[in-house]
Structure 1
Amino acid sequence: MTIFHCVSCQQLLTREVAPGEPLRAPERPVGHEVVSPRMAPGTFKVNFDASLLIFHPDDVPGTALHPDSRRLVGCCGLAGQDGPNLVCSGCGVDVATKESDCWTDNLVALIASAVTESDSSRPSL
């Protein structure tokens, strides 16, 4: 299993996760309903250019909403189109974008350069 930490302060950002595949292809929501999460709980996927790590929204408890309300735009949730909207709950640095609106996908995309990865099964010294 893998866990991800903030590169700036080493705050734990994610639950234990394992590589996985999306549960479904991207879909366009109907009406004002939020679609089901793209990833299963406990899984993540590296995007096509390795710049983002895609997670189930519940797998990033070490994050908090961005303090800039202009990044929190959305109708039924967060659109994620105005820059990163999640910060590290430890130091406040931008770490991810959450999409959860009625016209977007339903996922959290961690910025790969903002996190470090470690094996959670390895004993710490």
Structure 2
Amino acid sequence: MKFICKQCNIELTKHLIKLQNLNLLNENDGEDYIPSGFYIIGDGSYDSNSKGKIIINLNDLINSKHHSDISRLNGCCGLDGVDGINTVCVNNHEIGTENSDCWMAHYILLEPDMVGWIED
């Protein structure tokens, strides 16, 4: 499946499949939380903000950019995601929150009310 922006229908991800083996999740700081090519629905266990959100590898995100509101782009070595949605599609529709700072595992949370999916 591929995730799309609900407002403009642009594809936001490469082809992804649901990760069945949750032992592959990696909570090490500065490393990918979820392997490329997969997604999961967050349960809030690693990041309390992830509950019910779609978690993907940053390398699987396409047709996106950082938010134009620089107050949402805080972090020391990357984006910490604590100031709200910081990622938009290329047409400037809010889609999710990148978490890529040095003190956390790296991933993006896609908002289920802002993205849809297509089977490919």
- TM-score, normalisation: structure 1: 0.83
Amino acid at match of 1:66: H
**Conserved? CA contact 1:85–1:96, under 8 Å:** yes
Q: CA deviation at 1:15?
A: 0.4
The one-character-per-residue Cα deviations of 1:72-109 (angstroms, maximum 9, x if unpaired) are 111011101100110011x2111010101011221011
Q: Which runs of 5+ in 2 are unaligned?
A: 45-50
> Among 35, 38, 44, which residue is 1:40 paired with?
35
Instruction: Calculate percent identity across the aligned residue pairs.
Output: 28
Q: Which runs of 5+ in 1 are unaligned?
A: 121-125
**Conserved? CA contact 1:51–1:113, under 8 Å:** no
**Conserved? CA contact 1:86–1:94, under 8 Å:** yes
Q: Which runs of 4+ in 1 moved over 4 A?
A: none
In 1, Cα distance between equivalents of 2:62 and 2:93? 15
Number of the residue aligned with 1:123: none
Secondary structure of 1:112's aligned partner:
coil
Secondary structure of 2:76's aligned partner:
coil
* 1:66–1:12 distance in 2 versus 1, CA, 3 Å: same
In 2, Cα distance between equivalents of 1:10 and 1:24? 29
Q: 1:16 aligned to 2:15?
A: yes
Amino acid at match of 2:70: S
Q: 1:101 aligned to 2:96?
A: no
Q: How does 1:1-125 map to 2 (within 5 A)?
A: 2-20=1-19, 21-22=21-22, 23-27=24-28, 29=29, 34=30, 36-48=31-43, 51-89=52-90, 91-120=91-120
Secondary structure of 2:108's aligned partner:
strand
How many residues align? The count is 112
CA RMSD of aligned residues (A): 1.6
Secondary structure of 2:59's aligned partner:
helix
In 1, Cα distance between equivalents of 2:85 and 2:72? 7
Q: CA deviation at 1:59?
A: 0.5
